[in-house]
Each structure stands twice: as structure tokens, then as C-alpha cells.
A and B are shown apart, each in its own frame.
Chain A
Amino acid sequence: MAIAAPKSSASADTAFGLFWRRFRKHRLAVASLVFIGLLILMAVFAPFIAPYSPTAQPTGEDLASKYFQGPSREHWLGTDDLGRDVLSRIIYGARVSLLVGFMAAISGVLLGTILGTLAGYFSGRPFRFYLGPLNRREGGWQPPLFVAWRVASWVLFYGLLLGAAQLVWTLGGDDIRAGLGGDWSFANVLSLVASSLAWAAIAWAAVWGLRGSFRLDLDIAISRVIDFMLTIPELPLLLVLSALLRDPGASVGQWIQGVFGESTSVFIIISILVIFGWTGSARLVRGAILSLREQEFTTAAQALGASEARVMFRHLVPNTIAPIIVNVTLGVGGAIVTEAALSFLGFGIQPPVATWGNMLTNAQEYIFSAPWLALAPGFMIFLTVLAFNYLGDGLRDALDPRSRL
């Protein structure tokens, strides 16, 4: 691995050429790439490949004989609980499953990697996040980006404050308006005290915002957000969201529907997976960066005048690639299966649309009467995850900066 590559031609020495030469040596990785490519083609051209419609059901009176068929000439993988062709459902199912699996795992890990890198690299170097409009502490010229952030931060700050005020008003407005009205019950007194305190805090914040300033360590901010995310239980949150999407009064559902149209369901599912998925990789990357930034090569790069961004993303991130790749690999499989669970909670993909996840979950019902129904989707998920793993291995070997000697 440490052998220098023979210089065959000048063009081969471009970054990509080098990468490709090394990647090619990893035969399983290449095979996996081809396999994933074929899967994507299968998904895209599903209508031309699939022998039947994925939702076509048999007709006639004796339906039972057409349900749960084993493999046959007509149905290579048999039929499911409604007599639909399993092969066609697998082919069509690749569409949602691959989209959700790839997008959720990759975007989650990408987001996690970026935030984790920022947190780890800037740990202990707090930024001035907020400087009130009337605060003149920083005079002189300032970079335009900084000025833009300052203005944006005022808008954000007072926007949030307004939101908080609105919330307190809806929650406790009645108590303020009505006063105690002679009712000295515990609940009434408590709510009056609580809303008075909330109003006092809002007023104080409004004044503070004019002149105050606030330095924040990115690491602390991101880490506490992660901690917070990790403490929020997923199931109750998802149930609340599911009800909210169906509440015509809240109109959240209609709004999202209006923006995303047909792809709403897939968008919602990917978003949920990303929101809950980024924290793991962020923590992992943050930890690795914290350690790497103290190493000699980082100091060397900084001394040579490399920009912060370059140090972070060219020198540090490639060194954390191994756990990132494991994360993506495991994430793809996880997302494909979790999609079905989310759909059950009322988000997104509704029957009769086929996905590998819902085929596998549905097979649970028939574990005693038709256990083979689980095989096809389970095997596809297995192959996809395996292919991603080998692809990851190949990528790591090809990208690893240490083997670039």
C-alpha cells in the first residue's frame, strides 16, 4: 500500500485519476459499485423491467388460491398476501427504499460530519455570536460576512423573542387578563406567577438584546444541541408530529404538501431520519477531530499558511473517514428498515406502494403461514448493505491520505 504509484502519464496524476487507479484495485468494491449502479438502473427503469404492475391484484371468486403462491414460472418469487407479484414489488420497491436509504444515510452523515468537524476544530475558541445593535465595542472595519451575520442575528434574536411572547400569550394570556378574580387555588396562583415571570424574562431579554453581547463556543453549542437531541424520546415526538400533520387547524400538513407536492412523503421520511441520524456521526467525528487537531501534521499545515477550511476538510476530515464510512454503511440498512416503521406511524409511504421495508414488516404477519415472504426483501437489504460496505472499504483505501506516500 505504501508503494508509490508508477507515473504512467501526466493526466493520471490528477486527484481523480489517482483515486480511480487505487479504487480499481479493490475488486469487491468495483463489483459493489456496479451492483449499486444496477440497482439504481433497476429502480429508474422499473416499469420496463417488472413483469407485472406492483399493485395488480388477481380477479375472480377464488382469490385464496392466488394468494401466497410459491415461486413459479409466472411469478418467479411467488405472490404476496394479495396475490401481487413479489418480484415486481421488489423491483418497484427499490425506488423508495434506495432513495430513502441513500439520501437519509448520506445526508445524515454529511451533516453530522460537518457539524462534528466544526465543533471539534473550534473547540475552546469561542466566537462572538451576538452583538446588540447599540453595542459599540467592536469599532472599525469589519468583514462584510460578519456584518451580515450581525444583522441576521438581530433579526433572529428578536424573531425568537416575538415567538416566545406569542407562546406565553397563548398559554397564559387568560390568567393575566383575568387576574386572580378571587380564586386563590394553587393552580391559579401558580399560573399567574409563572406567566408574570415569563413576561418579566421576555422584557428583560428585549432590553438586553439592544446592548448585550454574547460569545459562544461552537463546540459547546453543537454538543449541547446533540445532548438535547439525544434526550428527546423519538416515539412520542413522532406520534405528536403524526397527529399534527393531520390537524386541519394546524395546517402544517397542507403547507408541506403545498411545497413538496407528490414527493411530500419521501421528503418527510428523509427529514426525520436525518434529524435523528446526524448526532451519532457528529459525536464520532468531533471526538476524532479533537484528537487529530493536536497532532503534528495539523500544526504543520497551519504553519504553512493553509486556511482553516483547508485544514479542516483537506487534512482532518479524510483522517476520520473510517468510522464515517461504517456509519454510512450501517445507516443505509437502518434507513431502509426504519422507513417502514415511520410509515406505520402515519408518515409518508402509504399502501399499496411497495418498499423493501414495508414488504419485510408485512411478512412478519405471516411468519408462520408464509415465512418465505420475508426472504426476498431481507435478501435485497442484505445485499445493498453489503455492497455499501465494500464500496466504503474501497473508498477508504483509495481516499486515505496516508497511503498517498
Chain B
Amino acid sequence: MFAYTIRRLVQMIPLLFAASVVIFALLALQPGDPLDELRQNNPNLTAEQLEQLRKAYGLDQPIYVRYFKWLGRALQGDLGQSRSYGVKAAEFVFGERLPRTLLLSGLAFAVALLIAIPVGIFSAVRQYSTADYAITFMTFIGFSTPVFFLGIILLYLFTVVVPERTGLPALPTGLPSLFWSDVTTGSISFFGFIGTWASHLILPVMTLALIQMASWTRYMRASLLEVLNQDFIRTARAKGLAERKVLYKHALRNALIPIVTLVGLAVPGVLGGAIITENIFSYPGMGRTIFESLLAKDYNVAMAALAMLAVLTALFNLIADLLYAVVDPRIRYS
């Protein structure tokens, strides 16, 4: 197992190298360049002036030279400057945007799993019951509802309709206008700080979790049903074990195996942020960072974010594989 892990880690190096080359090339080949806007807005620019600007933006060099320059600096921990913000790309992505996504998407992911897994189990145990049909129905409504509609409807409901009808305060959205220094200077208590953040997160977390719950419920249900049909469960029942014990001691453990893998594989996606939810609820996380940096042709930021996602994807793939071997003793890695 240890040797396997090491081998996989070593295999990751060429993989990540290849991924970084491809991502860099994709960004360099994006339609349009940072000068398009200037070219369109200022027709008085001469070809010579444009050439000078191309040089200033470092666009005059061939792609591979730019790549090696980027790689050389990246290995020293310098991911360059953000074109739109002027700040260091690494600081912007890892220091500002990533923690926010960890908070929002991570929370939503946890909520979704905490609800979906018990519901999926219930649905499987009561297969073909009315409750199961109702759950199936609900999950597919959740699955077919575009995030956009759900988000806007919840937003409209809790910030306009409910306050208008009941006089309750509107649920806040977006980032709170608070700094940590507000706590240290005493203008707000620590719990006030946490409470404010929590209140701002209610709607986006609810939206994201509702949407994700649907597929997790389906996977959990299918996985458990699969196990419940297997011989060893029948044997356990034939032995006269109590149904509870069969379920929780034998079936569930096995049914969770594929779920663990799926969760492992889903984590990088979670860290990639949720662009639509972030957009509706004015929450600048990773999803919006990647999208907006592409639009603004802020390639150092896009590269930092995408490279980070590539590393995380590779890492969590490995973790999923290893977990699989840990939870399923039948699998051997040599």
C-alpha cells in the first residue's frame, strides 16, 4: 500500500506537468487577447503603438517561452500579477477566493450529504413504498430544476415576499460588510461576527445543497439496494440476524464504499466553486473567479486557479483510490 501510494505520487508529476502545459496552452489560445478592447475602443492606436503594448503585456513571445517563464516563476512560488486587480495572483486566489469557496461550497456539500445519505438509505430500505416514490419524485424535481431558477426564487421569496407579507427582516445575501478588525477593535462581538456570516450564508447554502442532494440520494439508494440483493445479506438474514443489524452492520458498510469514491471525486468540483449560485448571491468565490478571469483575460489568475484545481483533482483521485482499498478489503493494490 505504501509503495503503491509512493508510485502514484511519482506518476502525478508527469501528469501535472502535462496538465499545466495543456492549461497554459488553452489560456494562451483563448479567442481574443487583452488588447482587443483597446483596439476596438481606440481606433487612433497605430500598429506601432499596438506592438509596443503587446510587448508591455508580454504577448510578443512564443507560447512555450511564456510557459517556461511561468513555470520557472511558479516553482519559486510566484504566480504573477492579476491583470485586473494588480495584486499577486496567488494571494488573490488562495488567500481571498479559495477560503470563501471552502466556506460556502464546503458547507453546502456537507449539508447535502448529511441529508441525502439518510434519505437515500430510507428510500432503499422502503423500496417501492409510497415514501420511496415520493422521495424519488422529489429528488427528480430537484435534479430537473436549474440552479438559476431555484436561486432567484429563494432570493425573491426570502428578501422580498416574506418581508413584505410578515414584516420580518429580509435574509441578507452577498458578503457581509465586515472585517476581522471589527472584532479586534470591538465594534462587533465575536459571536456577532459569526452570526452575521451565518445569516449571509443561509440562502446560498440552501440553494446549493438542495440541488446537490438529488443525485446523492439516488446514488445512495442505488448502492444500498445493490448490496441488499447480495448473497451475504441473504445469508445474514437466514442466520436470523435482526434486520437492523443486517442493515447497519453488514449492508451499510458495503453500500458506502462506492459513495466514498464518489465523494472523493466530487471534492475538486466543490472547490471549483459554484458559478451560478455565487453569481446570484453576490458571493465572489472560485467559480466566479475562474469565469471572470477568463472573460477579463486575466490569465495569471485563471492559471493559478485552474492549476490548483488540477493538483487537487489529481490528489483527490489518489485519495479516492486509496480510500477504496481501505474500505474494501477485497481490493489489493500491488
Contacts and interface: CB of A to CB of B under 8 A. Distances in A.
Nearest to B328: A291
B261 A287 contact: yes
B141 A236 contact: no
Given A124-B334, A330-B215, A232 B19 contact: yes
Contacts of A2: 234
A329 B144 CA distance: 12
B41 interface: no
Contacts of A232: 19, 22-23, 26
A333 B331 contact: no
Interface in B284-330: 290-291, 294, 302, 306, 309-310, 313-314, 317, 324, 328, 330
Given A240-B29, A389-B136, A231 B15 contact: yes
Contacts of B145: 378
Interface stretch (B56-64, B74-82, B94-102, B166-174): B56-64
A402 B229 contact: yes
A334 to B, nearest CB: 9
A239 interface: yes
Contacts of B231: 402
B64 A290 contact: no
Contacts of B331: 290-291, 294
B207 interface: no
B190 interface: no
Nearest to B136: A389
Contacts of B68: 190, 194
A242 B31 contact: yes
B30 A240 contact: yes
A243 interface: yes
A374 interface: yes
Interface residues of A, number: 56
Contact of B149 (A233, A291, A326, A367): A367
A239 B219 contact: no
Contacts of A337: 146
A227 B313 contact: yes
A343 B191 CA distance: 47
Given A190-B65, A231-B15, A402-B231, A236 B310 contact: no
A119 B331 CA distance: 14
Contact of B330 (A236, A294, A323, A329): A294
Given A230-B317, A240-B31, A287 B61 contact: no
Given A224-B15, A230-B313, A322 B222 contact: yes
Contacts of A329: 218
B230 interface: yes
B314 A284 contact: no
A242 B30 CA distance: 10
Interface string B146-168: 10110010000000000000000
B314 A283 contact: no
B26 A228 contact: no
A382 B218 contact: no
A91 interface: no
Interface in A108-134: 124
A385 interface: yes
B226 interface: yes
Given A232-B22, A326-B222, A386 B302 contact: no
A288 interface: yes
A283 B18 CA distance: 21
A287 B229 CA distance: 19
B332 interface: yes
Contact of B18 (A228, A242, A333): A228
B222 A227 contact: no
A236 B27 CA distance: 7
Interface string A1-34: 1100000000000000000000000000000000
Contacts of A283: 261, 265
Given A227-B15, A364-B149, A326 B302 contact: no
Contact of B229 (A186, A280, A403): A403
B87 interface: no
> Which 3 residue pairs are nearest across A and B when measured between Cβ atoms?
A243-B31, A382-B144, A231-B310
Interface of B: 11, 15-16, 18-19, 22-23, 26-27, 29-31, 61-65, 68-69, 136-137, 140-141, 143-146, 148-149, 152, 215, 218-219, 222-223, 225-226, 229-231, 234, 257-258, 261-262, 265, 268, 290-291, 294, 302, 306, 309-310, 313-314, 317, 324, 328, 330-332, 334
7 contacts: A2-B234, A190-B69, A236-B302, A237-B26, A240-B26, A322-B225, A385-B144
Given A235-B294, A386-B136, A400-B229, 8 more contacts: A194-B65, A230-B265, A283-B265, A290-B324, A322-B225, A323-B226, A367-B148, A385-B140
